[in-house]
Amino acid sequence: MTTRLGVNTILHPVTDLEKAKPVYAALLGVGPMADSPYYVGFEAEGQQIGLVPNSDMTSPIAYWHVTDIEAKIKEITEAGGTLKDAPKDVGAGRLVATLTDPDGNVLGILQDPS
């Protein structure tokens, strides 16, 4: 798998997956590629759009894809960012973490397995 760096994944918090799925399918023009009670994912025009129910997210989070999540966390925190959520495996070796900038904006970073 070739890693495409940059913002490729955007997760949206939702309260009702069954109500949200048709809205996002209409917006994106495709049905979900992943559909489970804890995550519904769409792929449209090279973007991964995910719906996350029962999340503590308060707004959508754009995830910047990186090749080394630990190195990027170090770089961002040394520049003044703050680690919010440490890296965790969300399945199949995909690691995600969140940080905040000095104004509290959430920054998502994501590393796919090599």
The domain limits of the chain are 1-58, 66-114
pLDDT value of residue 66: 96
Q: Which CATH class is domain 1-58?
A: alpha beta
What is the secondary structure of 65-100 as a DSSP string? E-S-HHHHHHHHHHTT-EEEEEEEE-STT-EEEEEE
**CA distance linking residue 98 with residue 63, whole number of Å:** 9
pLDDT value of residue 114: 84
Q: Model's pTM, two decimal places? A: 0.86
Token duo for residue 61: 């989070």
Left (φ > 0), alpha (ψ -120 to 50) or beta: where does 78 sit?
Answer: alpha
Q: Give the residue among 38, 58, 44 at the shortest CA–CA distance from 106.
A: 58
Average confidence (pLDDT) per 10 residues, the chain, 114 residues: 78 96 97 95 94 93 96 98 96 95 96 92
Domain 66-114 fold is 2,3-Dihydroxybiphenyl 1,2-Dioxygenase; domain 1 (3.10.180)
pLDDT value of residue 5: 85
- Paired sense of beta strands 39-44 and 61-65, if any: unpaired
